[in-house]
């Protein structure tokens, strides 16, 4: 949520800064700004409401020249999107500029004190208090002023600060929100995440909480915010490819990422299956004491949004085949409950970004209470990945589109692997282990078959895009997919309302809404609850509801009830959600396009939700 960038070195700062903002745009896109220190020692700042291309247009008119600067793309928390509220923010005199990601929780109290002391505020943001605090502590040395200012703030921040009165350096600091330094040849890059530095450098330092960096064109120094002691940190090599952050021939990242499904599953399972032994090898978990893993008698999955639906699928898989009791909790709920945890409980965080604030806070709470903490995370080196005792990386590649699709497919795949991993050290037989692992390996080619329905789904999207409400129904393994189908439609085609329900719950409420204007998606592969779902379809039909069914290839009977059918190939019941999710992702994408929505960056959303 909010992206920040900085540059200091031999080249024009605005080149990297604008590139970085475009790459970080998924983090927030209601306004943006850039501030550059020019060769005369003045800081020039340009801001714009809306997407980065609006800022780019403005920059063409006002060329910002200079070799150090900072930039920001905003997702509004305090104050509506406007130029006035857009970052970078400056102090009273326009000497100090700051880009900030996070929330300063005690900003109200700080603001009134600063106003009393004569500071003039120009925005409604919480961020501006940091600028004035730095101003009030500034005595010629920027890092000292920032250190002193941060001692007064409560909340979360990743900041980048420049000052014309202490030029030639950028001061950065981190608490809770992510921040990295990219190391180039006589140039340094600052960004919220490494996707921004791809193509510039692959050498990256992840700042940890409580660290402050002083970056000049000749080097960097990292010190502790608490005691100013120097901290020596090694850089890591980031394995990202420029093609991962480009659209690769597609008009939208979302479509590119949905179509990457087969590759994503291949990457998630690569080298992890031992077919003859019906076993799964997960290096990230093998590092743990195996006795500890065998001792786990309860798993609590914590996640937000789409990742929580992958968690629900995981719950069903792990309980049915590994025999471990599982609960799924939303991060935003778990962190404020009084969860009952003991040393045999594993708390497993599922997160594409590895940054989601509620998931991270829940994980830390579980750690404090003595749980074994595990993770299923896509972004290597992210906060959640670093905080867990052990975990499994998705290896799904960069996901740029705000709505998570390929990471969801990969998360369910990893849960299938985990089911065999845990199951085989418990009651799962060799035969069952082999059966599941054989079937997992077929998933990439089965997804390819599902993707062949692309043309048909496009036509259906046209046919149904005029409806204002949709109901999605599924049962057992496909209940979470009903939730996911509804979530995707509301977030991507954002003028449509949709509800995802368990089939059996329909008669407890949603049935009241059904009429000819309320189409229903039924996710009904041939599985153990097929007959039950059939009854639900009859009930909808009896009320003139329109039915779009996602069914197993070869099921001709379904046409008696469904107005439209999208077929998916046959697979094991526990793996059906990996296939049935894909037509729903495509449907949401194409309806969004029909309605003229920005399907990569839907209204009001942001990808990495780093605030509560």
Residues that bind ligand G6P (CB under 6 A): 304-307, 351-353, 356, 359, 402-404, 605, 607, 609
Q: Are strands 170-175 and 89-90 parallel, antiparallel or unpaired?
A: unpaired
Query: How many CB atoms lie under 10 A from the CB of residue 554?
Result: 9
Closer residue to ligand G6P, CB minimum distance, 383 or 562: 383
Gap between the Cα atoms of 558 and 95, Å rounded: 69
How many Cα atoms within 13 Å fall on the side-chain side of residue 569?
A: 14
DSSP 8-state symbol, 230: B
Edge-to-edge, what's the strand order for the sheet holding 298-303? Answer: 326-330, 298-303, 345-351, 372-377, 390-393
Residue among 133 and 403 whose Cβ is closer to ligand G6P: 403
CB of 605 to ligand G6P, least distance (A): 5
- Catalytic residue from among 2, 45, 90, 520: 2
Q: Could you tell me if 190 and 161 are in contact, meaning their C-beta atoms sit under 8 angstroms apart?
A: no
Taking the least distance from each CB to ligand G6P, the nearer of 304 and 502 is: 304
Q: Which of 22, 47, 174, 607 is catalytic?
A: 607
Closer by beta carbon to ligand G6P, 26 or else 107: 26
CA-CA distances (angstroms) from residue 442 to 15, 153, 155, 256, 487? 45, 53, 47, 21, 28
CB atoms within 10 A of CB 217: 16
Closest to ligand G6P by CB, 303 vs 550, is: 303
Long-range contacts of 108-112 (CB under 8 A, 24+ apart): 110/152, 110/153
Q: How far is the CB of 469 from ligand G6P (least distance, A)?
A: 22
Shortest Å, Cβ 353 to ligand G6P: 3
Residue of this chain nearest to ligand G6P (CB atom): 305
Query: Can you tell me whether residue 47 is helix, strand or coil?
Result: strand
Tokens of 133: 């605090």
Shortest distance in whole angstroms from residue 101 CB to ligand G6P: 15
In the annotation, is 92 catalytic? no
Under 8 Å between Cβ of 489 and 498: yes
Q: Which is nearer to ligand G6P, 400 or 609 (CB)?
A: 609
Q: Judged by CB, which is closer to ligand G6P: 98, or 383?
A: 383
The alpha-helical segments, DSSP class H, found in 118-239 are 128-137, 142-150
* Cα–Cα distance for residue pair 212/600, rounded to 1 Å: 33
Toward ligand G6P, which CB reaches closer, 128 or 491?
A: 491
CA distances from 383 to 180, 215, 351, 388, 574 (A): 12, 22, 10, 9, 30
CB of 523 to ligand G6P, least distance (A): 19
Name which of 48 and 601 has its Cβ closer to ligand G6P.
Answer: 601
The CB-of-223 to ligand G6P minimum distance in angstroms stands at 30
Backbone CA torsion sign across 237, 353, 368, 206 = positive
Helix axes 406-424 and 576-594, enclosed angle (nearest 10) = 170
Q: Is 597 a catalytic residue?
A: no
The rounded distance, in Å, linking the Cα atoms of 100 and 561 is 54
The contacts of residue 218 (CB under 8 Å, 6+ apart) are 186
| Cα-based torsion angle of the residue sequence 277, 279, 282, 283 in order, rounded to the nearest 10 degrees | -20
DSSP β-bridge partners for residue 158: 101, 174
Cβ atoms within 10 A of the Cβ of 49, count? 18
Q: Dmax over Cα atoms in the chain, in whole Å? A: 79
Contact 288, 295 (CB under 8 A): no
Active site positions, annotated: 2, 607
């Amino acid at each position: 949520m909010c992206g920040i960038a900085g540059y200091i070195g031999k080249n024009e700062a605005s080149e990297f800064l604008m590139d970085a903002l475009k790459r970080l745009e998924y983090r927030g896109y209601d306004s943006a700004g850039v501030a550059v220190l020019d060769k005369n020692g003045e800081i020039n700042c340009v801001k714009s409401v809306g997407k980065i291309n609006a800022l780019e247009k403005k920059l063409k008119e006002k060329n910002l020249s200079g070799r150090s600067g900072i930039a920001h793309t905003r997702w509004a928390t305090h104050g509506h999107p406007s130029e006035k509220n857009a970052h970078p923010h400056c102090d009273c005199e326009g000497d100090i500029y700051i880009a900030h990601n996070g929330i300063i929780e005690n900003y109200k109290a700080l603001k009134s004190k600063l106003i009393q002391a004569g500071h003039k505020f120009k925005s409604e943001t919480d961020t501006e208090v940091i600028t004035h605090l730095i101003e009030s502590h500034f005595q010629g040395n920027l890092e000292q002023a920032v250190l002193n200012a941060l001692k007064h703030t409560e909340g979360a921040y990743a900041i980048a600060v420049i000052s014309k009165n202490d030029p030639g350096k950028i001061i950065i600091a981190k608490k809770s929100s992510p921040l990295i330094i990219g190391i180039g040849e006589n140039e340094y890059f600052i960004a919220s995440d490494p996707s921004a530095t791809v193509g510039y450098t692959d050498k990256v330092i992840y700042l940890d909480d409580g660290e402050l960096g002083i970056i000049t064109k000749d080097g960097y120094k990292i010190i502790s915010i608490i005691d100013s002691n120097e901290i020596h940190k090694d850089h890591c090599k980031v394995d990202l490819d420029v093609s991962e952050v480009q659209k690769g021939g597609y008009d939208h990242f979302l479509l590119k990422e949905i179509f990457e499904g087969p590759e994503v599953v291949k990457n998630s399972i690569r080298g992890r299956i031992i077919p003859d032994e019906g076993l799964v090898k997960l290096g990230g978990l093998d590092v743990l004491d195996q006795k500890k893993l065998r001792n786990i008698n309860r798993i609590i999955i914590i996640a937000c949004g789409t990742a929580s639906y992958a968690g629900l699928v995981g719950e069903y898989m792990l309980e049915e085949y590994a025999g471990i009791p599982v609960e799924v909790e939303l991060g935003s709920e778990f962190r404020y409950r009084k969860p009952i945890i003991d040393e045999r409980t594993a708390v497993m965080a599922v997160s594409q970004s590895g940054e989601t604030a509620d998931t991270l806070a829940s994980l830390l709470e579980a750690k404090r209470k003595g749980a074994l903490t595990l993770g299923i995370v896509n972004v290597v080196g992210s906060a959640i990945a670093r905080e867990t005792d052990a975990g499994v990386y998705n290896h799904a590649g960069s996901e740029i589109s705000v709505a998570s699709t390929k990471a969801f497919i990969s998360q369910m795949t990893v849960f299938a692997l985990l089911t065999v991993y845990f199951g085989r050290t418990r009651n799962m037989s060799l035969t069952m282990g082999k059966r599941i692992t054989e079937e997992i390996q077929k998933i990439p080619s089965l997804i390819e078959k599902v993707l062949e329905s692309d043309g048909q789904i496009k036509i259906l999207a046209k046919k149904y895009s005029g409806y204002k409400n949709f109901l999605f129904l599924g049962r057992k393994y496909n209940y979470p997919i009903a939730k996911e189908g509804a979530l995707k439609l509301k977030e991507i085609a954002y003028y449509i309302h949709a509800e995802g329900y368990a089939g059996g719950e329909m008669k407890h409420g949603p049935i009241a809404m059904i009429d000819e204007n309320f189409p229903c998606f039924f996710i009904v592969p041939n599985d153990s609850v097929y007959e039950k779902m059939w009854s639900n379809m009859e009930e909808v039909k009896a009320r003139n509801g329109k039915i779009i069914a996602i069914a197993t290839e070869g099921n001709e009977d379904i046409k008696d009830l469904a107005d439209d059918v999208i077929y998916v190939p046959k697979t094991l019941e526990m793996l059906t959600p990996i296939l049935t999710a894909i037509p729903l992702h495509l449907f949401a994408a194409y309806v969004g396009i029909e309605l003229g929505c920005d399907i990569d960056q839907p209204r009001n959303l942001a990808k990495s939700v780093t605030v509560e």
